[in-house]
Copies of this chain bind each other. A is one copy, B any other.
Amino acid sequence: RQLHREFLRAGANIMQTFTFYASDDKLENRGNKLSYTGAQINEAACDLAREVANEGDALVAGGVSQTPSYLSCKSGTEVKAIFKKQLDVFTRKNVDFHIAEYFEHVEEAVWAVEVLKETGKPVAASLCIGPEGDMHGVSPGECAVRLIKAGAQIVGVNCHFDPLTCVKTVKMMKEGVEKAGLKAHYMVQPLAFHTPDCNCQGFIDLPEFPFGLEPRILTRWDMHKYAREAYNAGIRFIGGCCGFEPYHIRAVAEELAPERGFLPAASEKHGLWGAGLEMHTKPWVRARARRDYWESLKPASGRPLCASLSSPDSWGVTRGDAELMQQKEATSKDQLKPLFDRSKTH
Chain A interface residues (CB < 8 Å from chain B): 2, 29-32, 68, 71, 162, 193-197, 204-221, 274, 277-290, 292-294, 296-311, 313, 315, 317, 323-324, 326, 330-331, 335-336, 339-340, 342-343, 345-346
Contact = CB atoms under 8 A, between A and B. Distances in A.
Nearest to A191: B302
Contacts of A204: 282, 285
13 contacts: A30-B281, A194-B302, A197-B302, A210-B277, A211-B288, A215-B301, A215-B303, A278-B336, A287-B339, A296-B346, A297-B345, A301-B301, A306-B308
A211 B219 contact: yes
A312 B210 CA distance: 29
Contacts of A293: 343, 345-346
Nearest to A192: B214
A283 B324 contact: yes
A34 to B, nearest CB: 12
B208 A330 contact: no
Given A207-B297, A301-B303, A307-B304, A217 B220 contact: no
Leading 6 A-B pairs by shortest Cβ distance: A194-B302, A287-B343, A216-B302, A287-B339, A304-B309, A301-B301
Nearest to A162: B302
Nearest to A213: B299
A314 to B, nearest CB: 9
Contacts of A193: 302
Contact of A287 (B220, B298, B305, B340): B340
- Residues of A contacting B: mostly: loop
Contacts of A343: 284, 287-288, 293
A299 B303 CA distance: 9
Contacts of A339: 283-284, 286-287
A342 B308 contact: no
B345 A283 contact: no
Contact of A214 (B284, B299, B305, B307): B299
A304 B300 CA distance: 9
A217 to B, nearest CB: 4
